[in-house]
Chains A and B, each alone.
Chain A
Amino acid sequence: MFDLRLIRADALKLRRRRGMLVLCGLLTLGVVALMFTVSGIQHATNPSQHRPAGGFMAYHDAMFVLTMMMLVAGAIIGATAGAQDLESGVFRDLAATGRSRVALFGARIPGAWTIVLPIAALAAAATAVGSIALAGGLPTPDSATIFAATAGVLAAGALSAAVSVGLSALTASKAPVIATMLAFTLAIAPLLSGIGFLGDARQAIPTNALARIGDAPGQNVHMGLVTAIVVVVAWATAAFAAGAWRTRTREI
């Protein structure tokens, strides 16, 4: 189902979209750099009022923002990966080769991950380096914290991209998928997470599962790590199944 040649081809299609890559770089690395730069300037100009830009707390704040931004960047890249063949009309020619449509679809998710995960890893690494380098006298994040938070960021990018690939196969268009993902991430998920009477059902909300994987402080929905991983895998699997079904049955 996962053909390396098809995955490389999908990665190439994404890699050549320079505008998209620049935008995703700005949303992730750019935002982290901006946070450290602003905090650094504030600390340099008024050290008594502003703590150093790095340190343990700054690291967690930056990784929380980075996780949100990876959900957005993953949605942009995933929706593009999922819809670009259909939107350009090339999918019809690819399907006419006799190649399994599920194989063609299946290559899109790892193809998107080849772009999303390096961006996430680079941004997470930059955040860790900045937090340690700019810590001043503050405590710095230890390796276990960095490992967990980096895993959370990677999972956010991977999940967002996978779900977006699946949804864009359903809609055959990337714009509505990006809008839906943004709305869910930034508005619907926090709203649902804040509704107390939903109880343990809130564990199914993917942003809560990602917060648990990243071991983020201040989680308002508590769950085990295994549960969190199961929730993320379930969302990705459901999106893959829906996208594969629609790709297989679509008349083109």
Chain B
Amino acid sequence: MTPTLELHEASRRDAAAEVAANSRLPALDGLAVETRGLGKQFGPRVALDNVHLQVPRGCAFGFLGPNGAGKTTLIRLLLGLAEPSAGQMRLLGHDLPGGAAAALAGVGAIIEEPRFHPHLSGRENLGVHAAARERAAYGRIDGALVRTGLSARADDRVTTYSLGMRQRLGIARCLLADPELLILDEPMNGLDPAGIGELRELIGALVAEGRTVLLSSHLLDEVERTCDAAAIVDDGKVIAQGTISELTRGGPRAIDITCDQPARAASLLSATPAISRATDRDGRLHIELRPDAPVDREIVTGLLRRLLADGIAIERVSPVAVSLEQLFLAMTTRLEDRA
């Protein structure tokens, strides 16, 4: 294993530990989704391994992971589309699979990509779906079309819809359930920037109504802007979960120092125990801290003293904010690298 991978492994474990320690998730009865030791195998291949997931009610929850990490498999298990090999699941307070019918009556879902009968109109497709729901679902068709901006094209055949319009129709279909929980698998695929913004607003409005949105997406920036909390899945395991701020706080910490001799400063500090790496980056000293390093203020004071003592002039010190994307990349492995 290369040093870089070792670092990733270490930061992954530490991030997970810190998030678990700092977690402020509600009590179990406040959970929309809960899994315990959930596993799924396809022959010898382990798709999910001992997954513990807790999605609080009334929030937008991001579900992140690289391709092949097991996100869609977990969604399929929650929706009763496949049988788990191990573990337990609760959805909206109902144990699965026994309480699946009662639980799923309150769930609207888009799985992978929204599929429809292309020879039917958007309205007819919603009618077909409403037939499988409670009778009141028919009365929600017009409202769902209005809310997703599809009223004007509702009577056109779906074969004439763009991918973005199909995504909207998929969300309209979710709304037919008047759902307590929406599970949206990559709902932003095919949407233009305006459409993404509208979807973000819609998700915000749905959460404001007290609904829970479980959002699986590769658009990490969007998840960071849209969601209150998230879980990161990698190689069939949930490796971190918590609020966005908890997650990013658990990521790699770094400091940028603008000084007159960054290369010399980097070599001077590289052996410091609290530092995992010090480099000259674009004329600035970039310092990455070890996860077990003490709090920032103590470190910064010590580092600055050391640099000033060696005659290095310091102009500015700034902490580097860690984005969800940086955290994600640090914690997860790409499918190509997994072999």
Q: Which of A's residues lie within 8 Å of B, judged by CB? A: 3, 5-6, 8-9, 12-13, 16-17, 84, 88-90, 92-100, 104, 251-252
Contact = CB atoms under 8 A, between A and B. Distances in A.
A98 B115 contact: no
Contacts of B124: 12, 16
Contacts of B128: 9, 12-13, 90, 94
Contact of A251 (B82, B101, B118, B119): B82
CB-based closest 5 A-B pairs: A98-B104, A89-B115, A9-B131, A96-B79, A5-B131
B335 interface: no
A16 B81 CA distance: 28
Nearest to B42: A251
**Interface residue SS majority, chain A:** helix
A84 B131 CA distance: 16
A100 B107 CA distance: 15
A92 B81 contact: yes
B52 interface: no
B117 interface: yes
A90 B117 contact: yes
Nearest to A103: B132
A251 B119 CA distance: 26
B129 A93 contact: yes
Given A13-B128, A97-B105, A97-B129, A88 B115 contact: yes
Nearest to A251: B82
Interface centre among B76, B120, B124, B133, by most chain A C-beta atoms within 10 angstroms, is B120
A95 B127 contact: no
Interface residues of B, number: 33
B107 A84 contact: no
Contacts of A9: 127-128, 131-132
B127 A98 contact: no
Given A98-B103, A100-B101, A104-B132, A93 B115 contact: yes
Nearest to A18: B119
A95 B128 CA distance: 13
27 contacts: A3-B131, A8-B131, A9-B127, A9-B128, A16-B120, A17-B119, A88-B116, A90-B128, A92-B81, A92-B111, A92-B115, A93-B109, A93-B111, A93-B114, A93-B115, A96-B80, A96-B81, A96-B107, A97-B105, A97-B133, A98-B102, A98-B103, A98-B104, A99-B101, A100-B101, A251-B83, A252-B76
A93 to B, nearest CB: 7
B100 interface: yes
B177 interface: yes
